[in-house]
Structure 1
Amino acid sequence: MTETTPHPVVSISISHMGASALLVQSEGPLLLAVQRRYWAYDKACSQLDGVKETVLGMHSLLVCLKPDHDPLAMKATLAALWNETGPEDIAGRLVEIPVVYGGDTGVDLTELAARCGLSVDEAVALHSGPDYIAFALGSQPGFAYLGGLDPKLATPRRAQPRLSIEQGSVVIGGAQAGVISKTSPSGWHVIGKTDLAFFDENAEAPSLIMPGDSIRFIVQDIKA
């Protein structure tokens, strides 16, 4: 249910993405209060006449239009709807993720800790300390962008992405944490590994994590 309390003052821009889609986005730091507003906005936009589908992102929403629907008219509608939409809480689940940190499956942990002026144990404690919130899914099926990373661990992505990062790899990229859901190229730093499966296309709910879920990393082991 959308809140009636004052919502964050956030300006948006709306850009044309080809002839049949519009991208709504806002700038600024990644804040849960702002993303909660996008959660409500996503639901509201998906119910508009002329909208084919919506794709939620990090402080953004892609709105795909049905054929022959006027994007200019929809642009005005989207702008007005944003001003009417307040943040929403999602009653997500708590998902616990056991992690083996470091070693052959956490090859960047030692270097990342050193860059941050931390010992390996300190870095692991900071990473596993908070409960994270899944802001949105993207990049690959089942991959959740997680908010809540301690700023002391924020590290720019690798200048040269690796061609293959194994699924289940626990990663840090910039100010965000995540878990690679399918083996793929990535420029995120690999600090550990979990055996959990994050996407099953044959399951009733294919993605293990959904927006609004809380994620807790459990230290299973720390390897040198």
Structure 2
Amino acid sequence: MIIIRLTDIHLSYQDGDKRVNTVLKGLNLEVNNGDFVAVKGASGSGKTTLLSILGTLLRADSGSYILDDKEISDSQIDLYKLRNEKIGFVFQDHRLLPQYSALENILLPVMAYHSEAPQSYIDYAHELMKLTRIEQVANQYPQHLSGGEASRVAVCRALIMKPSILLADEPTGQLDMENALNIVALLSEVNQALNTTILMVTHSDEMAKAAKQIVTLKNGVLH
């Protein structure tokens, strides 16, 4: 079953000199439910722009984006609610809040709907920490975590709402090779264990090997 379909996506922007720069030029993409896709491309090729469109953080100038049988351009759709319930994000810089413990950071998306995290979510957070092998850091704060541990906390936070899709933007960019390989192996494990659809953008051939499908963004289209 196709969960993501992008059709003829175009996007341009003006730079400081008011020159028009075209980033995406009729891009097409289909992703099946439960797939793990790596999007490769050089720096500046538009990988993060593509991920922002997929995450509904950015609208394309034209084209169609259908997510889980819903046309995202439909003005009736609550994009904030859609993002929080269906899409998980993993960023390169983790974006953990220093005043909260690892467990509390994982539960942050839940707090958009509850004044206190329900026990069911707390239990699920512990399940995710067990899956990602960071149970021992639940009560530690970000400044006391290693880079690999912080990455795993970020993955758990992205999964806490049980999203259909996980979007990972260069998730290993700040890690050494050993931790980077561990994180992509973890994403592969999450993909298989939870059947979460994953799209990861990377410039690394080595990291892309973990995916089931590899596509390359070049000259505004996918190959």
TM-score range normalised by the length of the shorter chain: under 0.3
- The structure richer in strand per residue is 1
- TM-score of the aligned structures, taking structure 1 as reference length: 0.26
Higher RCO (Cα < 8 Å, 6 or more apart): 2
- TM-score of the aligned structures, taking structure 2 as reference length: 0.26
